[in-house]
Structure 1
Amino acid sequence: MTIELHFIDLLVIAVYFIAVFGVAFWSSKTASESSDHYFLAGRNLGWFVIGASLFASNIGSEHLIGLAGSGFAEGVPVAQYEIWAGVILLLLGWVFVPFYLKSGVATMPQFLELRYSSSARTYLAVISVIAYVLTKISVTIFAGGVILEAIGVDFWIGAILLVLATGIYTIFGGLKAVAYTDMMQMFVMFAGAIAVTFFGLSALGGWSELYKITLDASTAAGGSPETNSYFQIWKSIDNPNYPWTGILFGAPILGLWYWCTDQFIVQRVLSAKNIQNAREGSIFAGFLKMLPLFLFVIPGIIAFALYKKGMLPSMPIVDGAPVSNKALPTLVKDILPIGLRGLVVAGLFAALMSSLSSMFNSSSTLITLDFYKKYRPKATDRELVSVGRISTVLLVLISLLWVPVIQSGALSDQLFLYLQSVQAYISPPIAAVFLLGLFIKRLNGQGAMASLITGFVLGALRFALELMKNSLPDGSLLKTLATINFLHFAILLFIICTAVLVVVSLLTPKPSEEQIEHVTYSGVFDRSNIATRDVVLSVLLLAVIAMLWLALRG
């Protein structure tokens, strides 16, 4: 399926790229002044830029396509991850931000060293860089290749151009260029998504027609005529993808790791002017995370309804069934007028480039500050910035080396899902050592390393079992471990890692008071940093989340 672009569409895309490089050039003027400017934007970002960058970095092109595809296949349940992100972002702003900013760290591994040990820092830095290169960057490039092929551009040529374009402004501009281009790209994504939603609903005949078609489909699939499963956000415990127990207890664990401890995300709040700006940026991002339900998931449901009415002639069919992940490209091709197609494609490019630039910048920050500077502590600012730029160049080259591997099919779509799931298996121990370390003074470096290693081994075991699950005997313990829902596995792994962390810490010497004074709750909490408007906005966000959960009952 190829999306035909008119000259006006190409002009819109060209304007987008000109704007991106214009913003990047403007914001990169101070990037080379010091390592603090290059890696943390001079610790001078305001709340709006922080919130927009948190949102845009999270929404990759594969995210847009995946949300619409899941909406097409199953309706709104996939939006649970977006809604829970709002809750977790409040935790970032209220619980984690004061520790991170008062400690003065530039990376998450540095914070682990302050709280626990140098070994914990090294572990997290190594795991993070490997995960970025082998999973996040690869999947983003793969999704970008799919988009490029959809508009008739050769996969190889397009991937190289996009990676190079993103790499250039990341290399020269540092985090400030990344954050400000993220902000601009957020608006482009929103504009494209609004266009798809509006024209899709208009073609369908409005919201009532959407609900009627999905209710009929839900009933035909064996559901109750009183409940529309497409708009039922809480699913039964035996649902293979969204069991309510997994969503309620497992999704927050993954969210805690991603939003509160992952360098890829947290680097934005580390660059804030002060604690209040960091907190308000987190709250703002929490509100923004309510929008994907309406802008990215609902269009997928609209595509399903249009398909049912025979209004998506370009929808690919495989083995008699529509390919759900083609929902968004098909909507663009069959529904949108000339000009707006270019806007949506620009939005997909924006999602791709915002995520990719953030990965490049975060990875180079870890390489420079957690490896190079650790072993060369007297390195000058100019030297560190140079190493950061060289690291980004190397990451760009490694990414380009991945392109032929991806294009050849050596990594299948299924294996990509497995690679992504690895992050779900390594996140519970990281979430445990960060969260519990803030509140329990008795926890020490030995306990943290034991917990991290235990989590890694059990996560690797689950990964291996998942790869060979078809050959495992039915009813066996190994088969159960291989097939249990990954959210339920995350809960189990979090409990085990927490137990290991506590028990090993109690059996080994306690940390000194000097070590834990500024990295535990009693040593940092300060009411003077609390603004009334932040409290009000946080309560309002929680109210919005509660209303969404209550409204989406089918």
Structure 2
Amino acid sequence: MISQLTTIDFIVLIASLLFLVAASAFAGRKKKDSEDYFMAGRSLRWWSVAGSIYGTNIHAQQIIGMLGIGYSIGFAQSHYEVLAVPAILILCYLFIPIYRKRSVFTLSQFLEHRYNEQARLAYTVLIVAFIVIQLIAGFYIGSRTLGLLFQGSSFEISYLQGILLIAGVTVLFTVYGGMDSVVVADNILTVLMIFTVLIVGVMTLTQPEIKGIDGLLALDHAQPADQQKMHLYLPADHPRLPWLGIFTGLNILHCFYWTTNQYQVQRVLAAASDRDAQLGTIAAGFLKLSIPFFSIASGVAAYYIFNHRFGAGSVKPDDAFLKLMATVVPSGYGIIGLTLAGLTCAIFSAIYSMMNSVTTLLAFDIYRKYLNRRASDRQTVQFGRLSAVAICAVATVLTLWTYDPASSDNFFLQLADQTSYIKPSLVAVFFVGILYAGAHPRAAVIAMLAGPVFGLLADLLYNHVLATIPAVRDLFGARLNFLYRVFIICTCCTLLLLGLSRRWKQGGPVKAPDLVLSAPGLARWIWIFLGLEGLLIVGVLTGLLRPQTAAWPGALIPMALFLSAYARKPAGGSLLASDLFYAGLLSSVTVWILFFFA
């Protein structure tokens, strides 16, 4: 890929990378205490929160993986972006007000306030394991991408060299930067990635084989029904993205990522105010909705372009993004250089964003809690830096051991499957904790640790017993899809937590009552929304309404509900300055997409 760059592309690429490094270094040049180093002094405004959330979420493996699945499976992958919106709104209006009451550094500290010290430790162990798995995956796809970028040039690097380069840069940024540097890098990356996604998307959709999004829909609908790719819903027994799993397990995964995941929620904990945290999160939601159209739909378009120009099966899913860039983006204008700069920055930025969070967890939940309770700010920061070096070393070894650089599997789905044993129990513990005052601390710890066990038992029971029943196999597939596993784990952990809590009822005052949600009217609004949307869904399923027709009234319902909530506020202020207006607009766009592309 790099061999196709012209002089202007090289200049733009190098200048962009140097600007990122210089800006991040400048932002992180002064570190006064642990709050400055780990939380950017809790001073982030909404635009910084939005840019950092998007930059952390939409990284290289996300862009490459999303387009690759659009290429190999289809538009149904959009659920990973579109259905994030409900979880984003849950974060905004349920969790942000509760999380920010205690000015915690980590979500494990929140669990200690809500439950006990053992709950804090259990979360730390599980989430550190999750982040390490993510880091290993980031090293793999990052090294593979760097190898493709520099392939055929005098700078060509091997898989091992790429991993070592990523590890080295990560250590440097983490040791000498801190969260200020991470946020600046994320915001620069957000601008570059939006440009990259838009350029590649527009260039792809305007190819003569495609002729725009309408042309893509017409081309796709002309294919046999079982070969069409521009639909959101796949059969319930689909091995990768079954529709029933989408609305059960995937929604739980979104709740994990947006409400209980340290390295994403740390951005809202570092916001200057609740309003900055909420507006920033909503703005990131709007940015995420660009991905289905300019990345996933581009992957579907790439499928038709590559089949026409190079033959079916000529490109691996994880290589589709770079092949598409080489195919549709014109050279000689600096565009390729800028898009490659965004992709290269994303490789590093996402990894040291995760590294910043894992060092925060280790510093506050292990070092200050158990190893040195009287540690100074300087000692805490120093421990965080040393732990970054150790984590990078471990991740390097495990990357070489666990991933095959020649693999043609869908990396993004592989990663989701690998981490699905850890996430659901955390969702159960957090949600029950803020919704049910009687949740028992000891029950929360047991439920949290039981998640992986429930997952393994679900695999064994389904794959070796239930799958032998023809009716079950025909409905859910020959093997248990990880999205169904997620739903089973979360359900079992929730029931276990509630059951043990009732059995061990203490009878005393509720622990941390300010951390339990008190919103009596919320359930009513949710039932109104579900009831009205349910009527439209029935109309679509019975054939009375076309999905494209139902999309418009479906989109008006959430906006009307949010405007009603705005009107009930005692001092609403300007509508266009209200977070409720933008939350309603975000919800409306989401519902429209879910209906229109049915």
1:215 to 212, 221, 225: 221
Encode CA deviations 1:268-315: one digit per residue, 9 max, x unaligned. Answer: 0110111111111111111111111122112212211212332xx4x7
Distance 2:484 2:443 in 1: 24
Distance 2:504 2:305 in 1: 62
Distance 2:308 2:408 in 1: 32
Aligned to 2:23: 23
1:128-143 mapped onto 2 (5 Å cutoff): 128-133=127-132, 135-143=133-141
Encode CA deviations 1:255-274: one digit per residue, 9 max, x unaligned. Answer: 11111001011110110111
Distance 1:509 1:477 in 2: 41
Distance 2:317 2:405 in 1: 20
- Aligned letter for 2:382? S
Aligned to 1:497: 493
Unpaired stretches in structure 2, ≥5 consecutive residues: 522-568
Residue 515 of structure 1 aligns to a residue in which SS? coil
The reply on whether 1:187 has 2:186 as its aligned counterpart is no
Residue 513 of structure 1 aligns to a residue in which SS? coil
Q: Deviation of residue 91 (structure 1)?
A: 0.8
Residue 233 of structure 1 aligns to a residue in which SS? coil
Distance 1:542 1:197 in 2: 24
1:105-116 mapped onto 2 (5 Å cutoff): 105-116=104-115
CA change 1:245–1:122 in 2 (3 A) is same
Distance 2:520 2:276 in 1: 17
Encode CA deviations 1:131-170: one digit per residue, 9 max, x unaligned. Answer: 222x201111111111112121312323322332233122
2:592 to 547, 550, 554: 547
- Aligned letter for 2:342? G
1:5-404 mapped onto 2 (5 Å cutoff): 5-30=5-30, 32-133=31-132, 135-151=133-149, 152=151, 153-154=156-157, 155-204=159-208, 206-207=211-212, 208-217=214-223, 219=224, 222=226, 229-310=228-309, 313=310, 322-338=315-331, 339-375=334-370, 376-404=372-400
Query: CA contact under 8 A between 1:443 and 1:510: conserved in structure 2?
Result: no
Encode CA deviations 1:313-346: one digit per residue, 9 max, x unaligned. Answer: 4x7x7xx564233221111122222232222222
Query: In terms of mean alpha carbon deviation, does 295-304 or 77-86 score higher?
Result: 295-304
Encode CA deviations 1:479-533: one digit per residue, 9 max, x unaligned. Answer: 98982222222222222111110110111143753622221123999x8998761
Distance 1:12 1:284 in 2: 28
Distance 2:237 2:454 in 1: 23
- Aligned letter for 1:456? P
Residue 4 of structure 2 aligns to a residue in which SS? coil
Residue 425 of structure 1 aligns to a residue in which SS? coil
Distance 1:294 1:473 in 2: 36
Encode CA deviations 1:76-108: one digit per residue, 9 max, x unaligned. Answer: 110111011122111111100111110221101
Q: Deviation of residue 473 (structure 1)?
A: 8.4
Distance 1:425 1:528 in 2: 44
CA change 1:334–1:50 in 2 (3 A) is same
Residue 106 of structure 1 aligns to a residue in which SS? coil
Distance 1:463 1:8 in 2: 53
The reply on whether 1:459 has 2:455 as its aligned counterpart is yes
Distance 2:571 2:498 in 1: 31
The reply on whether 1:506 has 2:510 as its aligned counterpart is no
Q: Deviation of residue 70 (structure 1)?
A: 1.2
CA change 1:287–1:412 in 2 (3 A) is closer
Query: In terms of mean alpha carbon deviation, does 505-514 or 404-413 score higher?
Result: 404-413
CA change 1:463–1:64 in 2 (3 A) is farther
| Number of equivalent positions | 535
Distance 1:427 1:407 in 2: 22
TM-score computed with the length of structure 1 as normaliser: 0.89
- Aligned letter for 1:198? V
Distance 1:482 1:121 in 2: 38
TM-score computed with the length of structure 2 as normaliser: 0.83
Distance 2:299 2:464 in 1: 31
Q: Deviation of residue 410 (structure 1)?
A: 11
Q: Deviation of residue 212 (structure 1)?
A: 3.2
Distance 2:488 2:18 in 1: 49
The reply on whether 1:445 has 2:490 as its aligned counterpart is no
Aligned to 2:536: none
Q: Deviation of residue 8 (structure 1)?
A: 2.8
Encode CA deviations 1:363-391: one digit per residue, 9 max, x unaligned. Answer: 10011000000022221111111111111
Residue 193 of structure 1 aligns to a residue in which SS? helix
Distance 1:44 1:529 in 2: 26
Distance 1:486 1:456 in 2: 12
Q: Deviation of residue 26 (structure 1)?
A: 2.0
Distance 1:272 1:458 in 2: 36
Query: CA contact under 8 A between 2:246 and 2:483: conserved in structure 1?
Result: yes
Distance 1:511 1:366 in 2: 33
Q: Deviation of residue 425 (structure 1)?
A: 2.1
| Paired-residue identity, % | 28
Distance 2:270 2:468 in 1: 51
Distance 2:404 2:244 in 1: 39
Query: CA contact under 8 A between 2:256 and 2:423: conserved in structure 1?
Result: yes
Aligned to 1:226: none
Query: In terms of mean alpha carbon deviation, does 409-418 or 544-553 score higher?
Result: 409-418
Distance 1:530 1:115 in 2: 32
Query: In terms of mean alpha carbon deviation, does 472-481 or 113-122 score higher?
Result: 472-481
Query: CA contact under 8 A between 2:65 and 2:410: conserved in structure 1?
Result: no
Distance 2:597 2:92 in 1: 27
CA change 1:373–1:511 in 2 (3 A) is farther
- Aligned letter for 1:508? W
Query: CA contact under 8 A between 1:518 and 1:524: conserved in structure 2?
Result: no
1:521-540 mapped onto 2 (5 Å cutoff): 521-522=517-518, 533-540=578-585
CA change 1:470–1:18 in 2 (3 A) is farther
